[in-house]
Chains A and B, each alone.
Chain A
Amino acid sequence: MSRIIVVTSGKGGVGKTTTTANLGMALAQRGHKVAVVDADFGLRNLDLLLGLENRIVYTAVEVLAGECRLDQALVRDKRQPNLALLPAAQNRTKDAVTPEQMKKLIGALTKAFHFILIDCPAGIEMGFQNAVVAAREAIVVTTPEVAAVRDADRVVGLLEANDIKRMYLVINRLKPAMVEKDMMMSVKDVQDILAIPLLGVVPDDEKVVVSTNRGEPLVLSTETQSLASTAFANIVRRLEGEKVPFLDLTPPPEDFLSRMRRFFGQKP
């Protein structure tokens, strides 16, 4: 059965699209057939990060309107043929699509792809509903900041109400030096509040910005191995079920409270 995973956060600008692009590419590199779906209607940029903007002919909206077939809208990545992008419409409003339509669209993708990653828009309105309706798993991305964690917590609650039981946490843009000086929330601080399993910690890294501007996901570049690209590669292996030790940012040993939580039947 295909795995349908929404990448979401609540707050904007925390790294959902970056995460979707890198995980999509890394999964494809490991031999999975992957479709990445841009559900950020009206503010699309997954195509930019993947460097596929100039190859878009049709979008999800034309597929739904019956103006083209699904495979005509899918943009195959020439560098990595296992990867395809279903672009969002740029010019139409986000109300152009309903949750029912989205469900049908994703359902059709499961016939040809092992992994379907959905890049969710910010917020918890209609666009969010569209992005999560078909998903069976969720990657919740947050930065180690109070406001981002608050929004992520809200989103976890909404995902629970949407029957998405498998949720994983990605903490993005961590600055270990700042955590050391007690100026930034630590991995443990974030986990303490969100209480969902940790999938990975991605350090803040200038190379992410460079790769974004080049339209070339970090995990694709072979010249330089950055800590961030290793982090994304590790996340993908954990998604596959492998136990990969966390980079040098291993969270401290289980404390009293998370033991307690496990006792209550929740995953720490």
Chain B
Amino acid sequence: MTSDPFISAAGTPIVEQAVPQVRFKSEGDRLLLLLPLESEAAATSWADLWQQFKQRLNANERFWQAHTPVYLVARDRLLDGRQLQAIADALSDAQLYLKRVYTSRRQTAVAAATTGFSVEQQSPAQGFEAGKALAEPLYLETTVRSGVEVRHAGSVVVLGDVNPGSSIIADGDVLVWGALRGVAQAGAKGNLRCVIMALRLEPTQIRIADFMARAPEQPPDQYIPEVAYVALEGIRIARAADFSKDRLFPPES
């Protein structure tokens, strides 16, 4: 904590895992808005950050109580007053309000304070634990459209279609309650037990851990809900209706 006069008194400290993309997380009766690290190799541009933010906001609206306070965990990201205001405005359109900004950057803290937000400056290392456990599932109620890449350190659930030209990269499972036509990767950190399920599995490509499979050249006449998983010989696809049985009671081979 610094002694800068414009920085408000400390609130409840926020301890949070690193996130690969913008993410909302419910914590009691408050909501955390987590931004990815700017110092990471594949730093996200403001334009991409904004698109991720809006997508998460639109895709989760149904779950939030009106007037829930939002704590923006900006970490080492440089944000100017206009960007902070844009975030606050979009939140208030969704009937949420920006309560406080957490940042490790002095410039962001100054911008936040001069724009009129309460702010808390954290030391860069403070409050971030490199957790091993998967993050709670990311739940998206939206169509994931071409050009969008969703990354998450846990499972991803999509209520809607995943369109060609988009990709879902999850450290856990990928569940698509709709048509999966883009690229999906489950167990991105190497977990072989992760699965990909879709009501309509017609992906461009699927990956589980280090295994990869492409869609057959000849698409089937009819689509039924299916599950992709890793078996001895690589990725296999099973009818969803049979999958759990096979998993629990593997057929003699």
Contacts and interface: CB of A to CB of B under 8 A. Distances in A.
Interface in A148-164: 150-151, 153-154, 156-158, 160-161, 163
A195 interface: yes
A154 B163 CA distance: 10
A221 interface: no
A261 B160 CA distance: 7
B165 interface: yes
A161 B141 contact: no
B54 A161 contact: yes
Contact of A151 (B58, B146, B160): B146
Nearest to B161: A195
B165 A158 contact: no
Given A153-B165, A154-B145, A157-B148, A264 B159 contact: yes
B147 A266 contact: no
B3 to A, nearest CB: 38
A260 B143 CA distance: 13
A150 B164 CA distance: 7
A253 interface: no
Interface string A239-268: 000000000000000000100110011100
Contacts of B50: 161
A224 to B, nearest CB: 38
Interface centre among A161, A192, A260, A265, by most B CB within 10 Å?
A161
B81 interface: no
Contact of B179 (A157, A163, A257, A266): A257
B178 A153 contact: no
A150 B146 contact: yes
Given A160-B54, A161-B54, A264-B159, A193 B181 contact: yes
B141 A193 contact: no
A112 to B, nearest CB: 29
A160 B146 contact: no
A260 B177 CA distance: 9
Interface centre among A157, A192, A264, by most B CB within 10 Å?
A157
Interface residues of A, number: 20
Given A153-B145, A154-B165, A157-B146, A264 B51 contact: no
Contacts of A154: 145-147, 165
Interface residues of B, number: 24
Contact of A157 (B145, B161, B177): B145
Interface centre among B145, B159, B178, by most A CB within 10 Å?
B145
A167 B161 CA distance: 18
A161 B146 CA distance: 13
B55 interface: yes
Given A257-B179, A261-B178, A161 B55 contact: yes
Contacts of B178: 257, 260-261, 264
Contacts of B148: 157
Interface string B187-200: 00000000000011
A193 B181 CA distance: 9
Contacts of A156: 145
Interface string A47-58: 000000000000
Interface in B42-57: 50-51, 54-55
Contacts of B200: 257
B58 A193 contact: no
6 contacts: A150-B164, A154-B145, A160-B58, A193-B164, A264-B160, A266-B160
